[in-house]
Structure 1
Amino acid sequence: MKGVKPLILASIVAMSATVQANDLNKVIDKSSEINQSAAQSQTKIDKIADSMQGRLQQFKTLNKEIDGLTVYNAQLSKQLSNQMSEMEAINLSMDQVSIIERQITPLMLRMITGLEQFVALDVPFLTDEREKRLASLKDMMNRADINSSEKFRRVLEAYQVEVDYGRTIEAYTALLDVDGQEREVDFLRIGRLELIYLTRDGKKAGSWDTTSKQFVALDDSTISQISKGLRIARKQLAPDMLTLPVHAAD
Structure 2
Amino acid sequence: MHKTLIIIAIACLVAAGAAWAQSGPTAQQVGQDAKTAVDTRVGTQKAYDSWADERAKLRDDAETLQRELELAERQCKKSEAYLAGQKAKVADLEGRLREIERIRAELEPYLDETMERLDKFVAADMPFLAKERHDRLASLKAKLDDYDASLALKASRVLEALYIEAQYGGTVEVKEEEMTLEGSAKGVRVLRLGRLGLYALGLDGRTAWRFDRPSGRWVREDDFARELGQAADMAARTRVISLVELPVGPAPAKEARP
CA RMSD of aligned residues (A): 2.4
> 2:227 matched to 1:225?
yes
Quote the offset at 1:76 in angstroms. Answer: 0.9
Correspondence 1:162 to 2:165: yes
Which one-letter code corresponds to 1:50 in the other structure?
D
Q: Following TM superposition, by how much is the alpha carbon of 1:249 offset from its aligned partner in structure 2, in angstroms?
A: 7.1
**CA separation in 1, counterparts of 2:157 and 2:240?**
34
Q: What residue is the counterpart of 1:11 in the other structure?
A: none
CA deviation map 1:58-109 (0-9, x unaligned): 0111011000010011101110110111011101101110111111111011
Pick closer, same or farther for the CA change 1:134–1:164 going to 2, 3 Å. Answer: same
Moved over 4 A (4+): none
Does residue 172 (structure 1) correspond to residue 153 (structure 2)? The answer is: no
Check 1:41–1:71 CA distance in 2 against 1; reply closer, same or farther (3 A cut).
same
The range that moved more, 90-99 or 208-217, is 208-217
> Which deviates further from its counterpart, 60-69 or 232-241?
232-241
Q: Which residue of 1 aligns with 2:127?
A: 124
Match of 1:237 among 236, 239, 249: 239
In the TM superposition, what are the counterparts of 1:178-217 in structure 2 within 5 Å? 178-217=181-220
Q: Please state how far the C-alpha of 1:238 moved relative to its aligned partner.
A: 4.1
For residues 131 and 197 of structure 2, the distance between their equivalents in structure 1, rounded to whole angstroms, comes to 19
Taking the aligned partners of 1:244 and 1:126, their CA distance within structure 2 comes to 22
Q: Which residue type is aligned with residue 224 of structure 1?
A: R
Structure 1 residues not aligned, in runs of 5+: 1-14
Counterparts of 1:107 and 1:211, CA distance in 2:
29
Cα deviation, residue 54, structure 1 = 0.7
Shifted more, 223-232 versus 110-119: the winner is 223-232
State the TM-score, normalized to the length of structure 1.
0.85
CA distance in 1 between counterparts of 2:80 and 2:73 reads 10
Counterpart-to-counterpart distance in 1, 2:187 and 2:107: 42
Inter-partner Cα distance in structure 2 for 1:27 and 1:188 = 139
Report the identity percentage: 26
Aligned to 1:102: 105
2:62 maps to which of 51, 59, 63: 59
- Per mean C-alpha deviation after superposition, the further-off stretch among 73-82 and 226-235 is 226-235
Tell me, what secondary structure is at the counterpart of 2:218?
Answer: strand
Q: Give me the TM-score of the superposition, normalised by structure 2.
A: 0.82
1:77 aligns with 2:80: yes
Contact 2:205–2:226 at 8 Å: present in 1 too?
no
CA deviation after TM superposition for structure 1 residue 196, in Å: 0.5
Q: Which runs of 5+ in 2 are unaligned?
A: 1-17, 253-258
**SS of the counterpart of 2:248?**
coil
